[in-house]
Amino acid sequence: MPLVCLHGWGMNLRVFDGLRAALAAERRVIALDLPGHGASPWQVAHGSFEAQLQWLLPQLPARCALLGWSLGGQLALALAARAPERIARLALVSTTPRFAAGRDWTHGMSEPVLQRFADHLASDWRGTLRDFLHLQVRGSRDAAAALALLEQALHDHGQAQPEALQAGLEILQQLDLREQLPQLLVPALVITGQHDRVTPPGAGVYLAQQLPRARHVELARAGHAPFLSHPTEFTHALREFLHAD
């Protein structure tokens, strides 16, 4: 059964090169670019979360395991709800059901911080993306090495288009998937980083508690990209999950 990987905001499919290599001898791994990221073209029609789901669904194999990282994890959750017969297992990495904080949600980014991020994106998208790369590895073991891999992926496969970045940020500001979680019966693995500065670990704990068939793994001294900073531990947890009965 193949494993399909969906990357996060501002990145591209090449962030999964190491994971693909680690699993190559045992499993087909398919990594996809989100609309307007990497080599994927951008169209105005791709701007909504629903449109991106509709765009992704035909690209999935008839039956697969699905791994989503950050924004890609939110898409993976929604795809599993939309087409449960297509998703055999669900791996959610540094994922949250709601990115923005609210009165009943403390595991998100505050509205003023999100607004400053949006303002910066509008005036200097390259600088915003550069700052976001550093935020993803902050507090992580081997942060410099993980940052180099993120930068290499963008260098080799292309940066996201500004319109795609803006649309993705608007999705992150508005999306709330909490109501869907109790209905998702697919086996799930939730992996969080102890020092994640983008998605607080508490969001992953909540996710694992609300998904009926989920288990949670927190990687010590990991940031927002644990598959890059902790490749051995990450691959071990994922392989164990994919091979479980």
For the chain, domain boundaries: 3-243
Catalytic entry in 37, 40, 46, 70: 70
Q: Are strands 188-193 and 3-6 parallel, antiparallel or unpaired?
A: unpaired
pLDDT confidence of residue 244: 80
Superfamily for the 3-243 domain: Alpha/Beta hydrolase fold, catalytic domain (3.40.50.1820)
Residue 230 designated active-site: no
Among 7, 40, 196, 229, which one carries the catalytic annotation?
196
Which tens digit of pLDDT belongs to each residue from 159-193? 999 999 999 999 999 999 999 999 999 999 999 99
Mean pLDDT of 114-125: 92
What pLDDT shows up at residue 234?
Answer: 98
- For the chain, percent of residues with pLDDT exceeding 70: 100
Residues 39-57 have a mean pLDDT of 95
- Per-chain mean pLDDT for the chain: 96
Please tell me the predicted confidence (pLDDT) of residue 101.
94
Q: Assess whether 46 carries a catalytic annotation.
A: no
Position with higher pLDDT, 244 vs 52: 52
What is the per-residue pLDDT across 205-244, written as a single tens digit (0 to 9) for each?
999 999 999 999 999 999 999 999 999 999 999 999 999 8
* The pLDDT of residue 96: 98
Beta bridge partners of 30: 4
pLDDT(245) > 90: no
pLDDT (0 to 100) of residue 219: 98
Q: What is the pTM of this model?
A: 0.97
Catalytic residue among 7, 216, 224, 230: 224
